[in-house]
Amino acid sequence: MTKTKMDSPPFESGTSLWQDAFHRLKRNRMAMISAIYLLLQSLVAIFAPYLANFSYETTDLLLGAVPPNGIHYFGTDDLGRDMFTRVLYGARVSLMVGILATLVSVCIGVTYGAISGYVGGRLDEVLMRGVEILYAMPFTFFVIILMVLLGRNIYLLFIGLGAVQWLTMARIVRGQVVSIKNMEYIAAARAMGVKNHMILWRHVLPNILSPVIIYTTLTIPGVILEEAFLSFLGLGVQEPMSSWGTLIADGVTALETYPWIIIFPCITLMGALVALNFLGDGLREALDPKGTP
């Protein structure tokens, strides 16, 4: 009958599980540093036109490649383009690809997995066998073919990369939905006459959100890397636009003579990837405290 508020953990009245998770996340220093780093990185990317002193497409052949100095913070490449500017603009493309392609993959993966898991039965069999078949296909080639056939369009890149990444998400979501749908509160909701799509939306999805969020933060670096890889092959973003991947590809050719061309894009790429992974880990610990030892 009585509320035992004293010996319960610091739950305010009406603390949702999300608020608890946020408290735990705030206590994780590495995750918070990573989050702040990523926020700054995103702001820098968004406001790149205001922060850069030079245009990313202006070449200065007379200048050529100069090492980092007071005017060109990151030096210039062999065409005399300011590397600081190019890295700033590269962040825009890389982060945008990372986020948008991941969003595409989350949308497809969650919808597919949720329907498969919730409907179950034969449809589930068919959908999941489909995922397995797609798993067996060499997807990098698929994206390469897509790029070659349909032209090097940056939006196509989002869709192409997203369409490759959703398979694991679909599997994760499907597994979660199957376990959630046998919970008693789903039976209770059905006994209350709640419509199927509302059960899925209101009762099932919130309960599978934490694995989805965790996997999403871990997908973004994967997608950024994939884009870097495609750009490295010359299939990603085209000159004079740059992404971290194209910058690294440029730098490789001049690795011995002008090392600063490759070093700075590498450092920023690594910084973003490391921060995303730390944040993903922190989120996993915050949202699923039981799963961590």
The residues of the shown chain that bind another protein, judged by CB under 8 A, are 1, 8, 11, 13-18, 120-121, 183-185, 187-195, 198, 202-203, 206-207
Residue 11 DSSP label: P
Structure tokens at 81: 């383009």
State phi, psi for 217 to the nearest 5 degrees.
-65, -25
For another protein, the closer of residues 18 and 135 by Cβ is 18
Rg (CA), the chain: 23
Shortest spacing between CB 181 and another protein, in angstroms:
11
For another protein, the closer of residues 210 and 243 by Cβ is 210
Cα(178)–Cα(203) distance, integer angstroms: 13
State phi, psi for 206 to the nearest 5 degrees.
-60, -30
For another protein, the closer of residues 273 and 286 by Cβ is 286
Shortest spacing between CB 14 and another protein, in angstroms:
4
Torsion-angle region of 188 (φ positive above 0: left; ψ -120 to 50: alpha; else: beta):
alpha
Q: Do the beta carbons of residue 25 and residue 32 sit within 8 Å?
A: yes
Shortest spacing between CB 177 and another protein, in angstroms:
14
CA distances, 78 to each of 43, 105, 245 (Å): 28, 37, 17
For another protein, the closer of residues 88 and 189 by Cβ is 189
Q: How far is CA 39 from the centre of its chain?
A: 14
Q: Do the beta carbons of residue 292 and residue 284 sit within 8 Å?
A: yes
For another protein, the closer of residues 17 and 233 by Cβ is 17
For another protein, the closer of residues 6 and 62 by Cβ is 6
Shortest spacing between CB 239 and another protein, in angstroms:
48
Cα(249)–Cα(231) distance, integer angstroms: 7
Shortest spacing between CB 194 and another protein, in angstroms:
5
Shortest spacing between CB 3 and another protein, in angstroms:
8
Query: Tokens 């991941």 — which residue?
Result: 102
State phi, psi for 161 to the nearest 5 degrees.
-65, -40
Shortest spacing between CB 2 and another protein, in angstroms:
9
For another protein, the closer of residues 170 and 186 by Cβ is 186
Shortest spacing between CB 54 and another protein, in angstroms:
50
State phi, psi for 103 to the nearest 5 degrees.
-60, -45
Structure tokens at 182: 């046998």
Tell me how crowded residue 30 is: count the other CB atoms within 10 A of its CB. Answer: 14
For another protein, the closer of residues 40 and 188 by Cβ is 188
